[in-house]
Amino acid sequence: MLSPRIALTCALAFGAPLSSALAQDTQRFRTDKIEVIVETVARNLENPWGLAFLPDNRLLVTERSGRLRIVDAGGNPSEPIKGLPRLSVRGQGGLLDVALDPAFAQNRLVYLSFAEDRGEGRNGTSVARGRLSQDGTALEGTEVIFRQEPSYAGTHHFGSRLVFGRDGNLFVTLGERNDLRDKAQNLNNHLGKIVRIKPTGGAAPDNPFLDREDTRPEIWSSGHRNVQSAALHPTTGELWTVEHGARGGDEVNIPQKGRNYGWPVISYGVHYSGQKIGEGTKKTGLEQPVYFWDPSIAPSGMAFYTGDQFPAWRGSILVGALAGKLVTRLETNGNRVTGEERMLQQLGERIRDVRQGPDGLVYLLTDSRNGRILRMKPAT
């Protein structure tokens, strides 16, 4: 495997905004492979976090402040959908990711991850599901199907992405809540873990720790810091993730059943204070990342590109960056990352989520109080 420490040549994107009156809504950028146009689909969203495409191609979008909306073809957000669970909107918490049931066309089930208010100032990442009403105005029969334990009074590192596996079970990525980082190494809690649950809740069959009394049976993998990017590989069906490091050490991983990914025992970054993390970068029994960034780009949201609109990107991973204010394109060969291209830096936007649309175009969420849904398409 090519060491991720090897310096890779980055083709940095550059571009100039259009000179028309629509410059703020439509910009043209040159990338390593193709010239692209980035256009605004919708605006005035408060810190949008997660995005899903309904069968009629309307967009279902979460706002961290606690609203779930449908955006129509004209870019108009609906009134907030009713029937959401009890949220804790503090710090990095609030309404997070959204995913449709694989059989949504038949059952209209929507899954949400969120910071749940547990009372007495405590909170934790939870997953709920409800049935989207026929008129799209409410989630009906909403129920919480998973709760991260233990709850905590902090406001950081909730995770959390939702990804359905090909077997119909649901992966949920969970942060280690920052102050409780050492618990990421302990299997008797859900902190710093990826869990795999049935769509109705409860541990999925064949999870690695079902027969151990001292563990949480929902756990799939451990030793994670704060995973805010996750997607299935289009060929293998394996889960890939990208997680936040501290100062450096953002990681691409392929979380395998029962394995430990090291946080906070090993890391390629350092604490924000500059102090060393754990025992170094490697330790027997702890997994190495497929790729890492140092310095950090603060990754959030990812998609494998499989469409026809950008044929030169097929097989690449597109990852949003918050602190980096860019989209990075990772070229892959099997389970290796072989190159990186950094794009759209001139937008100057924190990119919270990245999705491939059913039209083969790339959709982005910008993380701000006046957040936007952006669409990236070929310039020709």
Active-site positions read: 157
d(CA 113, CA 100): 12
d(CA 130, CA 142): 4
d(CA 315, CA 301): 16
In terms of Cβ atoms closer than 10 Å to its own Cβ (0-12, 13-18, 19+), residue 58 is: middle
How many other C-beta atoms can be found within 10 angstroms of the C-beta atom of residue 10? 14
Phi/psi for 347 (5° steps) reads -65, -35
Of 273, 268, 376, 255, nearest to 318 by C-alpha is: 376
In the DSSP assignment, the letter for residue 165 is -
Strand, helix or coil at 253? strand
Taking a C-beta distance cutoff of 8 angstroms, is the pair 320, 352 a contact?
A: yes
How many other C-beta atoms can be found within 10 angstroms of the C-beta atom of residue 61? 26
- For residue 52, what are the CA distances in angstroms to 137, 227, 248, 266, 355? 16, 19, 30, 34, 8
